[in-house]
């Protein structure tokens, strides 16, 4: 009796060790609209009855072929129809044309013929997009003391999740970095012009922006008189516009006055002609 209980205890411990329930899911990263394989390793001395793949619900059932025939896969989830396959050698699951909805928890349950045990393996699949080139937005503000304050913002279109932004710069022969999508710095005439690069990364790709020369936004011959020059230019344009409007108004006024004077003179000549026609001719009696 004691030997039987001891055998049952060993069998339970063996079953627990094969189950994989105590193991964390294997993290798998994949690229949007590309493919991924969820690898499955089965001991060579084990004969497989069937394999059940789970996702949010039953995904597929795999039955090994007989007499060197290929395995048969039956897809249960319509979302994966036409997008999944298996490897004949290891029964690993292949998923193509990945979507955002494919991210999540997966599990393979392998039922064996040679024993009452079932092998299970879990996966945590995360789908990411390949990052495009970063876009840099520059905001410039000049203080009353003449300092040029610059704010740089880095962004990526449709970046998705788990994106890291890092600003890289070189100052005094030492490379420095700053985490975050934006950074603020200042520059004065005579200062060494710093250069910045924004690097964006996620678990499957990384990309960098062009080199941003901070001093180039402020270092021009008119700095820091640029705002005053701009104001003078604006005032000059407004004055020129007023002069043009005034000149046009004077021309219109003169043209109207000349028209009225010409009209009056014409009326006066017509009256004189009418009087001459209406006066009787004087002849000697």
pLDDT band with cut points at 50, 70 and 90 for residue 134: very high
Interacting residues of 198 by C-beta distance below 8 A, sequence separation 6+: 134, 136, 152, 154, 165, 166, 167, 168, 208, 209, 212
Give the CATH fold of the 135-219 domain: Immunoglobulin-like (2.60.40)
pLDDT value at position 274?
67
CA 163 to chain CA centroid, Å, is: 10
Rg (alpha carbons) of the chain, rounded to whole number: 43
pLDDT in tens, 258-284: 777 887 777 777 766 666 666 555 444
pTM of the entire structure?
Answer: 0.61
pLDDT value at position 278?
61
pLDDT value at position 61?
92
CB 72 within 8 A of CB 62: yes
**Which class does domain 15-128 fall in?**
mainly beta
Of 11-20, 229-238, 245-254, where does the model show the most confidence? 245-254
pLDDT value at position 29?
94
pLDDT > 70: what percent of the chain?
78
pLDDT value at position 131?
92
| Mean pLDDT score of the chain | 79
pLDDT value at position 25?
92
> Above 90 in pLDDT, residue 187?
no
Alpha-helix runs per DSSP H in 171-225: none
The DSSP H or E segment spanning 249 is helix 226-278
CA 148 to chain CA centroid, Å, is: 29
pLDDT value at position 221?
42
Q: Which of 13, 18, 235 is nearest to 117 (CA)?
A: 18
| HEC per residue, 19-88 | HCCCCCCEEEEEECCCCEEECCCCCCCCCEEEEEEECCCEEEEEECCCCCCCCEEEECCHHHCCCEEECC
User: For tokens 């100052």, what's the residue?
Assistant: 171
């Amino acid at each position: 009796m004691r030997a039987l209980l001891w055998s049952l205890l060993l069998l339970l411990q063996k079953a627990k060790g094969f189950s994989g329930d105590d193991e964390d899911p294997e993290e798998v990263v994949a690229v949007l609209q590309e493919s991924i394989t969820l690898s499955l390793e089965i001991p060579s001395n084990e004969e497989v009855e069937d394999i059940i793949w789970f996702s949010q619900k039953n995904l597929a059932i795999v039955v090994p072929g007989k007499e060197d025939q290929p395995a048969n896969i039956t897809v249960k989830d319509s979302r994966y129809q036409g997008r999944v396959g298996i490897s004949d050698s290891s029964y690993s699951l292949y998923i193509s044309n990945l979507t955002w909805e494919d991210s999540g928890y997966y599990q393979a349950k392998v039922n064996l013929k040679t024993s009452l045990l079932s092998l299970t393996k879990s996966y945590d699949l995360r789908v990411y997009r390949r990052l495009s080139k970063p876009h840099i937005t520059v905001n410039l503000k000049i203080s009353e003391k003449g300092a040029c304050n610059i704010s740089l913002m880095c962004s990526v279109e449709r970046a998705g999740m788990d994106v890291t932004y890092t600003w890289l710069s070189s100052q005094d022969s030492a490379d420095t970095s700053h985490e975050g999508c934006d950074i603020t710095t200042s520059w004065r005439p005579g200062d060494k012009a710093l250069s910045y690069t924004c690097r964006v990364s996620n678990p499957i790709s990384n990309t960098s922006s062009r080199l941003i020369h901070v001093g180039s936004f402020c270092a021009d011959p008119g700095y820091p008189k640029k705002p005053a020059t701009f104001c003078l230019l604006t005032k000059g344009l407004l004055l020129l516009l007023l002069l043009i409007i005034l000149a046009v108004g004077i021309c219109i006024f003169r043209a109207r006055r000349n028209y009225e004077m010409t009209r009056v003179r014409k009326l006066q000549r017509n009256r004189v002609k009418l009087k001459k026609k209406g006066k009787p001719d004087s002849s000697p009696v």
